[in-house]
């Protein structure tokens, strides 16, 4: 891994390699690929922005000491850390930026995200089994990546989901909520992971195969560039993926209307009665002010074609109506993990001189109603802000 990282780093014009570290170095003048070799981090000479480590947990104390004292960022691709190691890493992250992931592959980060989405959508009706295969020299089993994928499933489950690592030793049937994890070792396999969702009469599998360690080296360098901009904190591939896919989709729905209701009763039965009166009309973008004196303001959107029916259904509240708007949706999974997306979207609105008529948000979505004539310009501004292709 060290050689792979070094080779890719030397080929990258955005990076300057200061030194390589190898505890077996015998002479101070040793070098590799024309890069100085040193025995440890304390022999580094000059400014270091980021350290990348793929060695052994035993190297961790020295790395953390150097990184915190010199305020150098640290990328940890080593696996096999114990609970005490992880506490040390978390403590050091209060002083400098640390990126840690059991698998530096960007593809595995996507697999983890897809696994979480699938587990959330399929729910407890599907049994989950994870299998992984690695080369004969890998020591830890199951792999850190397999445990990362298992955690992605467990995170979205409303019930505890224990990991079962050694099913043959149990001699009993599978329990409903367990996550089975199987490890295989042999040959020179760089890494294969499959997450299987097994339901009644159907199976869904998500898989990733690493064809070489080069992808992990490329991911580590990607992480190094990402973390070089951070001051302190603990980061991982999920965060990197989130920040680089903050906005993945911009949707436009033409011809909607917004109904604004002022000072309606805040009683739950009253609110339910308003929406009940709308019957089968598709009501969207619902927002309300904080109740005051038992009253609140309420707003929502309906398709323009249903506007007359909606107004007729609410004869007692006299809604204020804004017609022929466009509904603009900005969404991305990364929004759930990264602050500041709303600020950037509203700066785009300000730059375009647009005042939204209605706005609602969720963890992964910002939806607004705007005047139809502004949509094309606003979409272009948001695409440019978040680096989306046309």
Question: What residues are annotated to the active site?
Answer: 134, 138
For β-strands 358-362 and 365-371, DSSP reports them as antiparallel
Q: Which residues contact 70 (CB under 8 A, 6 or more apart)?
A: 48
Q: Which residue has the tokens 């922005």?
A: 49
Those residues whose C-beta lies under 8 Å from the C-beta of residue 173, and which sit 6 or more positions away, are none
CB 227 within 8 A of CB 50: yes
Structure tokens at 358: 């209605």
* Dist CA 190 CA 376 (whole Å): 47
The position carrying tokens 């089975």 is 180
Alpha-carbon dihedral of residues 78, 79, 84, 86, nearest 10 degrees? 70
Q: Could you give the CA distance from residue 263 to residue 283 in angstroms, rounded to a whole number?
A: 19
Angstrom CA distances, 190 to 78, 143, 181, 216, 217, stand at 15, 12, 18, 10, 12
Using alpha carbons, select from 109, 49, 68, 5 the residue that is nearest to residue 229: 49
Judging by beta carbons within 10 Å of its beta carbon (0-12, 13-18, 19+), is residue 39 exposed, middle or buried? middle
Closest listed residue to residue 64, CA positions, set 77, 53, 74, 52 = 74
The DSSP letter of residue 361 is: E
Question: Sign (positive/negative) of CA torsion 224, 226, 227, 233?
Answer: negative
Nearest-angstrom CA–CA distance, 38 and 259: 69
Closest CA to 96 of 133, 118, 66: 66
């Amino acid at each position: 891994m060290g050689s792979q990282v070094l080779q890719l780093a030397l080929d990258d014009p955005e990076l300057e390699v200061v030194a390589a570290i190898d505890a077996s170095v015998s002479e101070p003048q040793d070098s590799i690929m024309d890069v100085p070799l040193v025995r440890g981090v304390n022999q580094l000479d000059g400014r270091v922005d980021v350290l990348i480590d793929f060695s052994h947990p035993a190297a961790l104390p020295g790395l953390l000491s150097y990184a915190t004292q010199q305020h150098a960022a640290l990328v940890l691709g080593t696996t096999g850390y114990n609970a005490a190691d992880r506490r040390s890493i978390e403590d050091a992250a209060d002083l400098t930026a640390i990126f840690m992931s059991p698998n530096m592959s960007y593809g595995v980060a996507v697999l983890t995200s897809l696994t979480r989405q699938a587990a959330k959508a399929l729910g407890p009706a599907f049994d989950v089994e994870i299998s992984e295969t690695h080369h004969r020299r890998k020591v830890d089993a199951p792999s850190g990546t397999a445990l990362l994928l298992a955690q992605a499933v467990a995170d979205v489950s409303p019930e505890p989901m224990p990991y079962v690592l050694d099913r043959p030793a149990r001699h009993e049937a599978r329990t409903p909520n367990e996550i089975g994890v199987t490890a295989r070792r042999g040959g020179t396999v760089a890494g294969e992971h499959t997450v299987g969702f097994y339901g009644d009469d159907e199976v869904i599998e998500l898989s990733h195969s690493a064809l070489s360690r080069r992808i992990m080296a490329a991911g580590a360098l990607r992480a190094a560039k990402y973390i070089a901009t951070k001051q302190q904190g603990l980061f991982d591939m999920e965060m990197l993926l989130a920040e680089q896919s903050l906005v993945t989709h911009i949707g436009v729905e033409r011809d909607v209307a917004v109904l604004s209701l002022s000072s309606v009763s805040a009683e739950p039965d009253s609110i339910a009665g308003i929406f009940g009166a709308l019957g089968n009309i598709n009501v969207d973008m619902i927002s309300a002010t904080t109740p005051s004196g038992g009253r609140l303001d309420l707003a929502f959107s309906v398709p323009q074609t249903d506007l007359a029916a909606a107004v007729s259904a609410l004869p007692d509240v006299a809604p204020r109506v804004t017609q022929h708007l466009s509904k603009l949706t900005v969404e991305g999974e990364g929004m759930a993990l990264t602050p500041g997306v709303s600020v950037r979207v509203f700066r785009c609105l300000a730059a375009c001189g647009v005042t939204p008529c209605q706005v609602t948000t969720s963890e992964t979505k910002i939806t607004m109603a705007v005047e139809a004539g502004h949509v094309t310009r606003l979409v272009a501004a948001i695409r440019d802000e978040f680096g989306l292709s046309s």
